[in-house]
Amino acid sequence: MAIQDKMLAAQVVEFKKPYKIHEVPTPGKDLNEYDMLAKVAVASLCHTDGMVLDGIMGTPLPCTASHEGSGTVVKVGSAIKEFRVGDRVLCSLTYRRCGKCGDCTGPEVDTQYCPNVGGYLGVNRDGSFVEYEVVDGRECCMLPDNVSFQTAAPLACAGVTVWGGLVRAGLKAGETVAIVGGGGGLGHLGVQFAKALGLHVIAIDARDEALSLAKECGADTLVDARSGKEKVVEEVKKVTRGQGADATLNVSDHESAAATGAAVTKMHGILVQIAQPTNVSVPFQELVFRDIRIHGSLTSSKGECLKMLDVVSKHNIKVKTNSFNGIREVPNAIELAHSGKMQGKPVILIDQEAIENEKKSGLKMV
């Protein structure tokens, strides 16, 4: 497969300014032994991309945007044995963990917390709004045959992040999880994952489009956050025998979301904070008098990502996507994301040939 010297990319070149869409040199001529070069098929937009653009993440410039990508392996480092050219992969945003620290050598579920990590794609290393990207072959995951590139791309962050939140919630089948922001990009995936794990799901959101999507994804109970915190708590207690949810995931960065999440959680329960507002504000009464425990959660490990992909494949998990053709359409994807009317995730279709080949494969894709 011939790889051109130049490729199209959408890059952050100045904070708080639109992406620059232009040609840049194609990477991968001298791959590290643990690296792979992937031809990006689909890349998607994430809330964190806006934080990168605003300069919140300390990103060195220029930086190619997006940390949610899927694609085809076109070149493999000498030490990588798990993959070969032609494999379809989920492009992990984690790049070069040290492999030696307490997080790398401790429980596998925490390996993404490596403090010596070499970087994160689309955050402080070039990401997926590009035709070719360098990824860490030790972190990427093979796509199940029936999981399409378009379904996979949003799973690289949105999917693994809300999956990781469910892991940290530690619930058993039959228990109840509330999701604040349950009809958003992460939330609608969390609803489906939770149902696949046998949980009762309460989706809380403040947009008609989001509540509709949560219902479509199988939420057992819908609660409109616009009715105010007291009413939200009342509605949650109605379906939880007056106790509240066994655990709550907060995937909304609204200033009142964490407080709402704590309020709908049963006494001694866990609030998993996934959203990244500047400050997380919860009344002291929730922590002191009700013993609500707040647990942060950062993406997921490779092992958990593989478990998530297995659930996606076996349970026909649907990622609600809004498709745009080609990298030059990234500004239109951003406009839709900021409109307040979007359902699900905006995705950029980059490698049309690979996408068409999937359609011709005869496999029933999710």
137-178, pLDDT tens digit by residue? 999 999 999 999 999 999 999 999 999 999 999 999 999 999
CA atoms of 119 and 96, how far apart (whole Å): 7
CA atoms of 125 and 310, how far apart (whole Å): 28
Return the axis-axis angle of helices 187-196 and 302-315, rounded to nearest 10°. 80
CB 82 within 8 A of CB 108: no
Closest among 99, 105, 87 to 39, alpha carbons compared: 87
CB 97 within 8 A of CB 117: yes
Residue with tokens 């909304």: 252
Q: Which residues sit opposite 144 in a β-bridge?
A: none
CA atoms of 83 and 73, how far apart (whole Å): 8
348 has a pLDDT exceeding 90: yes
Domain boundaries, the chain: 6-157+300-361, 161-296
pLDDT at 365: 87
197 has a pLDDT exceeding 90: yes
pLDDT at 138: 98
| CATH fold of the domain at 6-157+300-361 | Quinone Oxidoreductase; Chain A, domain 1 (3.90.180)
Q: How far is CA 353 from the centre of its chain?
A: 25
207 has a pLDDT exceeding 90: yes
310 has a pLDDT exceeding 70: yes
| CATH fold of the domain at 161-296 | Rossmann fold (3.40.50)
203 has a pLDDT exceeding 70: yes
Closest among 82, 86, 87, 90 to 135, alpha carbons compared: 90
Mean pLDDT, residues 314-329: 97
In angstroms, the Cα distances linking 366 to 51, 209, 315, 334 are: 30, 22, 9, 25
The mean of the pLDDT values for the chain is: 97
CA atoms of 63 and 199, how far apart (whole Å): 40
Mean pLDDT, residues 4-31: 97
Does 161-296 match 6-157+300-361 at the fold level?
A: no
Retrieve residue 363's tokens. 């496999």
User: Which uninterrupted H or E stretch holds 305?
Assistant: helix 302-315
pLDDT at 1: 64
Mean pLDDT, residues 353-357: 96
CB 202 within 8 A of CB 177: yes
320: three-class secondary structure by DSSP = coil
32-45, pLDDT tens digit by residue? 999 999 999 999 99
Mean pLDDT, residues 258-264: 98
Residue bearing the bigger pLDDT, 73 or 364: 73
